[in-house]
Structure 1
Amino acid sequence: MTPPRAKPRRSRAGRILIQAPGRLRALVRGSEAGLVALAALAGCVAGLAVSAMNLATQALRELLFGLPAGTRLSAADAVAPLTLLLGPALGGAGLGLLIFAVGRWRGRRRRPVIDPIEANALHGGRMSLRDSLYVSIQNVISNGCGASVGLEAGYTQISAGIASRLGIAFELRRGDLRTLVGCGSAAAIAAAFGAPLTGAFYAFELIIGTYSIATLTPVVVAALCGSVVARTLVPTPPMVAVEGIEAITTTTLTTADTLPSLVLGLVCAALGILIMRGVTLVEQGVVATRLPRVFGPALGGLCVGFLALAASAQILSGGHGALHLLLAAHGPAIGAGGLALLFAGKATASAISIGSGFRGGLFFASLFLGAIAGKLFAALAPEIVPGIAALGLTPLAYAVIGMSALAVAIIGGPLTMTFLALELTGSFPVTGLVLVAVIASSLTVRKTFGYSFATWRFHLRGESIRSAHDVGWIRNLTVGRLMRKDVRPVPLDTPLATFLRAHPLGSPSRVIVTDAQERYAGIVMVPEAHAMAREAQNGEEPGLADVVRHPGDFLTPGMNAKEASAAFDRTESEALAVVDGEAERRVIGLLTESHTLKRYSEELDRQRQAMVGEAV
């Protein structure tokens, strides 16, 4: 007899979930090699996605601005002024129409898009592929029309979303799904920069939140696959290139070069905080105008166009072409005034672009701004400290150091940016100075500001996460999931004798009592009630109200285990009632401290095992 076919599983929204065949799922879930193979697949798909986005944005720029094939917008010098002015505004209008159309289609089903950091911190690696695709399309339009945003946010969003969907199809465990999301992000960054080590450590530091032996192989394999696929499909030079080691240093580097690098790192930390604050101020200003969201990108694009006319076309788009020119050994010479104007224009354009509703990130913008800051430092420092000019570093070296230091201040990931400098220059001495600068920048931002750009935006939304470290499990370990629901409250006006007959010694030792409106009134300890009845004198029978404990202490189902443990410590109680809310106070369960601590310890041990790569 043929066994009945299993019904397809559906998500909470009612959509059918695509699942891999059962044997294949078991192979991937039960074997480290299976996870590595899935990571390689995610890496290859990420390479495809990055290549497709690159081609789409370049085609859009060539169409809007009339660029020759392959010419970067920020490196173009023959764009008509009117086109330069109106191109970003036209793209912003198109983006506004897209936002309006999608908003009408979704209606009330709108929900915030979950990015890879938030997915791994709060949702166990679960992301919406549909939302990720929508973000990537917005990013392509934003970057393609010249808005001063990078594509890296779109790269990681779509790549991590695809990886998450793959993991869900194979029903991966929570830890493995988080790792696979990191693999997708690593492959995206590796494909974008042609730098596998940079991609891998981007995943470790920013997406997974930790490094472990268990995650090393899948993440590195995904990064390598993404880089190879992208280079094969779109054989273009690296997005960032430094022409020759001889352009970096003039003499052998010494310890005297460390101090300028340290100072540059501190300067970049201050600049990074100002830029992040600036983006927030622009967003608040746009909100204060009460301008409909669909009109924001068009207005912002017009402002960016004016800035491009006033400063330079180098402030447009991500800035890849402009960074190539800036890092070229024999590129055009720009004075200190020109560098300062370019920095101010690019920073302002990035703040306006993101604040007005264009979709994108500050990854590449921070690299470009850091390179400008490094060259500006090299131009101004000899005027302040004449001896700096005699050291072994050239302005190009300071550009590389500043590029990494400012990117760390805004994006985070000290090792990520250090490996980026190493893979770009191949110079270990300069990489050592980069490490000094990024440590100074990272420490300063962490102690004075406390956030990267991504986590700062989470903070503005009311989220408390500071990294991708998995804290979602404790939010899921709620009182509502831990409590006992088989509780039978007793009315507070029940005679004590009746209560004692219904609850003899040896029965459950705690009984919840409610008032006349069936609201929580406290907990009665059965042994205490029996003891009080025995000690009663003069024939006066005490009531339940005389033995009630914790009338104002209770838990709610939305509290997590950590909050519940704090409540037990504060009340010095071994058990507390669970009510549906502070207003109604209808009793729905009971939770003991011992059960809470047991489940909390089990989950902590599970997290520790996952971190060190032990079988869970």
Structure 2
Amino acid sequence: MSLRRRLFLPLAWMRRQIRASEFALIALAVAIGSAAGLGTVIVAALARTVQHWMFALPVGQRLSETAALGWPQLAILPLGGAVLAIFSLGVRSRQRRMVDAVEANALHGGRMSVSDSLVVSGQTVISNGFGASVGLEAAYAQIGSVIASVSGATLQLRRSDLRNLVGAGAGASIAAAFGAPLTGAFYAFEIVIGAYTPSAIAPIAAAAISAVFVSQLFGAQPYVIDSFATLPPESHHYLLYAGLGGVCALLGIALMRLVALAEQGSRKIPLPDWTRPILGGALLMPIAYWSPQVLSSGHGALHMDIAVGASLGFVALVFVAKVSASIVSLGFGYRGGLFFASLFLGTLVGHLFAGVLDLIAGYPVVDPHNAAMVGMAALAVAVVGGPMTMAMLVLEATQDFALTGAVLAAALVSSTIVRETFGYSFSTWRLHLRGETIKSARDIGWIRSLTVDTMMRRETRATDSAISIADFRHRFPLGATSRVVLVDADERYAGIVQTPAAYAEGLDAAAPIGTVAINGDAALAIDMDIAGVMKRFDASGADELAVLDADRHVVGILSESYVRRRYAEELEKAQSDLFGER
């Protein structure tokens, strides 16, 4: 027996077990979660090691809680930009765009590339390790999701199962990073899968729990925030915190737009593209000289700002500095995300919100520490998405059940405002700028794969539009065909004639048949997806449309009734997958 045959038999057996048994799928999710937890530990250790080497940090100290940095240390920032540029130039031969978990689940049925994911993770580790104001959460999720994608693709799992596993892998990595299994599970549902799917609950929960177990087994510490609140949240505070959610929504939208503007502006600078992160590192130096809190993801700074009271002016300056550092870092080509930056910025907004209320009322209205936690969740929801994800993060980090309701109220307000006025999270906003149309990880890949080319009837019989109506009647008696496609003298499309129309009374039999043709300006391109086809049918009001190539030569024909039937069939199949029909 050949080696290939020996490998195929166990994989085929495993695939049958996973398709037939939910227990087998859960077992696979546990293995993926364990691997994702280990991958998260490795990525975090690499980034921290680089930071400690570069900035000579004491053991156990985070870069963002450093009191001060001198200019020689700050020169590490543009050095990091140079290292990132060299690394990126080394992998520039890759022509395809690198896909993250959200895009993979929305457009590619959960399929991801190992090499591309390693490149993304490497760029993120370099960016964070050399002090850029970006988080590691993008690398965590990338590693976990690609482990799941490769595992599911190797076993040739169904599209729905593969998408659920990719969500489980990404969620497991986030769970391991924060030591928060509920946060990881909701991250998988809200951000990576895009829906709450009953069939995915058990695998995702199992993956998140196993990831937390493995990460803590290797020394990772859970994300815990000490609660210093002196005023418990009361019912009337919910309205105030809802207002804080609205403020955070507007700030989140502004932040995402500013990052996009900075990126567009940096690309217009008349310098080679590889110099962008070096220039960005140089721009970060004066910001970090004033406040090292802006560097890296900001874990240490967040804990320090919550524990130590500061004046409103100082908090506002730190907020502006962190926003500026994040915009510069992402706008000038550093790789990473805004997940933890939005958490840190949210705590600052919460502090400012509570302080302003105190100044207006003349007495403490809400507890500043509670407001910081609510702001943390609300701003993160505005930027990252996932109101339940962020509510669970605050709950698991503080163990404060009384605060959870206020956090959820603010998160829902923030999410609703962003969804209604902006429509994107940071990840989908960047995809939108790249030309994609997705607004969440919901699966629309089947829509894009259902193209005109796969649905049309090939048309090999086209008729000259110059022949007379009499000649047409001779060639096509009533009942012979329902319609005829016409072409001009250059074999280009000239419309469609419905056969009964050529037999209408009062027509000049000597006139060209092209005079009774319809839909001469309405046609379909061969690469259009089903969504575009349905819009074209609605706009034209036609029952059938010709399919043309780039030179307007007829290659086929497609009817509206067939298109809508195929759409209904695929939609029913997608909904069956969504609700877990195994």
Q: TM-score range by the shorter chain?
A: over 0.9
Letter in 2 for 1:340: A
Q: Are 1:599 and 2:545 an aligned pair?
A: no
Aligned with 1:301 (options 272, 276, 281): 281
Residues 266 and 602 of structure 1: CA distance in aligned 2, closer, same or farther (over 3 Å)? same
C-alpha distance in structure 2 between counterparts of 1:485 and 1:73, whole Å: 64
Q: Is the contact made by 1:60 and 1:145 (CA closer than 8 Å) also made in structure 2? A: yes
Q: Secondary structure at the match of 1:576?
A: strand
Q: Secondary structure at the match of 2:91?
A: helix
Partner of residue 292, structure 1: 272
Give 5+ residue unaligned stretches, structure 2. Answer: none
**How far is the alpha carbon of 1:524 from its aligned partner?**
2.4
**How far is the alpha carbon of 1:281 from its aligned partner?**
2.4
Partner of residue 221, structure 2: 237
Partner of residue 147, structure 1: 132
Q: Between Structure 1 and Structure 2, how many residues are aligned?
A: 582
Partner of residue 13, structure 2: 23
**How far is the alpha carbon of 1:541 from its aligned partner?**
4.6
Q: Is the contact made by 1:268 and 1:406 (CA closer than 8 Å) also made in structure 2? A: yes
Q: Secondary structure at the match of 1:613?
A: coil
Q: Secondary structure at the match of 1:303?
A: helix
Residues 82 and 29 of structure 1: CA distance in aligned 2, closer, same or farther (over 3 Å)? same
Partner of residue 82, structure 1: 71
Partner of residue 157, structure 1: 142
**How far is the alpha carbon of 1:449 from its aligned partner?**
2.7
C-alpha distance in structure 1 between counterparts of 2:151 and 2:194, whole Å: 21
Aligned with 2:229 (options 237, 248, 252): 248
After superposition, residues 324-339 of structure 1 pair within 5 angstroms as 324-328=303-307, 332-339=308-315
Aligned with 1:55 (options 36, 45, 48): 45
Partner of residue 202, structure 1: 187
C-alpha distance in structure 2 between counterparts of 1:265 and 1:4, whole Å: 59
C-alpha distance in structure 2 between counterparts of 1:31 and 1:515, whole Å: 60
C-alpha distance in structure 2 between counterparts of 1:110 and 1:498, whole Å: 54
Q: Are 1:577 and 2:546 an aligned pair?
A: yes
Partner of residue 433, structure 2: 460
C-alpha distance in structure 2 between counterparts of 1:114 and 1:307, whole Å: 32
Aligned with 1:46 (options 27, 36, 40): 36
**How far is the alpha carbon of 1:554 from its aligned partner?**
1.2
Partner of residue 333, structure 2: 357
**How far is the alpha carbon of 1:47 from its aligned partner?**
0.6
C-alpha distance in structure 2 between counterparts of 1:607 and 1:447, whole Å: 26
C-alpha distance in structure 2 between counterparts of 1:316 and 1:486, whole Å: 62
**How far is the alpha carbon of 1:27 from its aligned partner?**
2.2
Q: Secondary structure at the match of 1:21?
A: helix
Partner of residue 343, structure 1: 319
My pick for the range that moved more, 67-76 or 505-514, is 505-514
Partner of residue 270, structure 1: 250
Deviations 1:272-292 (A, max 9, x none): 222222212221221121322
Residues 5 and 432 of structure 1: CA distance in aligned 2, closer, same or farther (over 3 Å)? closer
TM-score, with structure 2 as normaliser: 0.94
Partner of residue 550, structure 1: 519
Q: Are 1:482 and 2:455 an aligned pair?
A: yes
Q: Secondary structure at the match of 1:578?
A: strand
My pick for the range that moved more, 377-386 or 424-433, is 377-386
Aligned with 2:392 (options 392, 410, 419): 419
C-alpha distance in structure 2 between counterparts of 1:97 and 1:509, whole Å: 64
Aligned with 2:376 (options 388, 393, 403): 403
C-alpha distance in structure 2 between counterparts of 1:364 and 1:35, whole Å: 31
Deviations 1:388-435 (A, max 9, x none): x1x5x4322111111111111111111111111111112221111111
Q: Is the contact made by 1:84 and 1:309 (CA closer than 8 Å) also made in structure 2? A: no
Residues 98 and 428 of structure 1: CA distance in aligned 2, closer, same or farther (over 3 Å)? same
Partner of residue 123, structure 2: 138
Partner of residue 355, structure 2: 379
Aligned with 1:99 (options 59, 73, 88): 88
**How far is the alpha carbon of 1:6 from its aligned partner?**
7.5
Partner of residue 12, structure 1: none
Q: Is the contact made by 2:432 and 2:438 (CA closer than 8 Å) also made in structure 1? A: yes
Q: Is the contact made by 1:115 and 1:127 (CA closer than 8 Å) also made in structure 2? A: yes
Letter in 2 for 1:548: A
C-alpha distance in structure 2 between counterparts of 1:4 and 1:339, whole Å: 64
Residues 88 and 607 of structure 1: CA distance in aligned 2, closer, same or farther (over 3 Å)? same
RMSD, aligned α-carbons? 2.4
Q: Is the contact made by 1:307 and 1:349 (CA closer than 8 Å) also made in structure 2? A: yes
**How far is the alpha carbon of 1:571 from its aligned partner?**
2.9
Residues 3 and 381 of structure 1: CA distance in aligned 2, closer, same or farther (over 3 Å)? closer
Letter in 2 for 1:43: G
Q: Are 1:192 and 2:181 an aligned pair?
A: no
**How far is the alpha carbon of 1:603 from its aligned partner?**
0.7
C-alpha distance in structure 1 between counterparts of 2:271 and 2:455, whole Å: 46
TM-score, with structure 1 as normaliser: 0.89
C-alpha distance in structure 1 between counterparts of 2:206 and 2:18, whole Å: 16
C-alpha distance in structure 1 between counterparts of 2:56 and 2:448, whole Å: 51
Q: Is the contact made by 2:459 and 2:554 (CA closer than 8 Å) also made in structure 1? A: no
Q: Is the contact made by 2:486 and 2:514 (CA closer than 8 Å) also made in structure 1? A: no
**How far is the alpha carbon of 1:226 from its aligned partner?**
1.3
Q: Is the contact made by 1:491 and 1:513 (CA closer than 8 Å) also made in structure 2? A: yes
Letter in 2 for 1:73: L
C-alpha distance in structure 2 between counterparts of 1:547 and 1:320, whole Å: 72
C-alpha distance in structure 1 between counterparts of 2:155 and 2:264, whole Å: 42
Q: Is the contact made by 1:124 and 1:178 (CA closer than 8 Å) also made in structure 2? A: yes
Partner of residue 11, structure 1: none
C-alpha distance in structure 1 between counterparts of 2:4 and 2:188, whole Å: 40
Give 5+ residue unaligned stretches, structure 1. Answer: 9-17
Partner of residue 15, structure 1: none
**How far is the alpha carbon of 1:199 from its aligned partner?**
0.7
Residues 371 and 289 of structure 1: CA distance in aligned 2, closer, same or farther (over 3 Å)? same
Residues 495 and 419 of structure 1: CA distance in aligned 2, closer, same or farther (over 3 Å)? same
C-alpha distance in structure 2 between counterparts of 1:555 and 1:453, whole Å: 34
Q: Is the contact made by 2:91 and 2:119 (CA closer than 8 Å) also made in structure 1? A: no
**How far is the alpha carbon of 1:116 from its aligned partner?**
1.2
Partner of residue 368, structure 1: 344
Aligned with 1:313 (options 281, 287, 292): 292
Q: Secondary structure at the match of 2:545?
A: strand
Letter in 1 for 2:484: V
C-alpha distance in structure 2 between counterparts of 1:165 and 1:521, whole Å: 49
C-alpha distance in structure 2 between counterparts of 1:207 and 1:495, whole Å: 60
Q: Secondary structure at the match of 1:402?
A: helix
Letter in 2 for 1:188: S
Aligned with 2:496 (options 513, 523, 537): 523
Partner of residue 469, structure 1: 442
**How far is the alpha carbon of 1:452 from its aligned partner?**
1.7
Q: Is the contact made by 1:87 and 1:305 (CA closer than 8 Å) also made in structure 2? A: no
Letter in 1 for 2:46: A
C-alpha distance in structure 2 between counterparts of 1:486 and 1:604, whole Å: 28
Q: Secondary structure at the match of 1:470?
A: coil
Partner of residue 127, structure 1: 112
Q: Secondary structure at the match of 1:549?
A: coil
**How far is the alpha carbon of 1:80 from its aligned partner?**
4.8
Q: Is the contact made by 1:74 and 1:322 (CA closer than 8 Å) also made in structure 2? A: yes
Residues 279 and 595 of structure 1: CA distance in aligned 2, closer, same or farther (over 3 Å)? same
C-alpha distance in structure 2 between counterparts of 1:95 and 1:55, whole Å: 18
Q: Secondary structure at the match of 2:458?
A: coil
Aligned with 1:260 (options 240, 258, 274): 240
Q: Is the contact made by 2:41 and 2:220 (CA closer than 8 Å) also made in structure 1? A: no
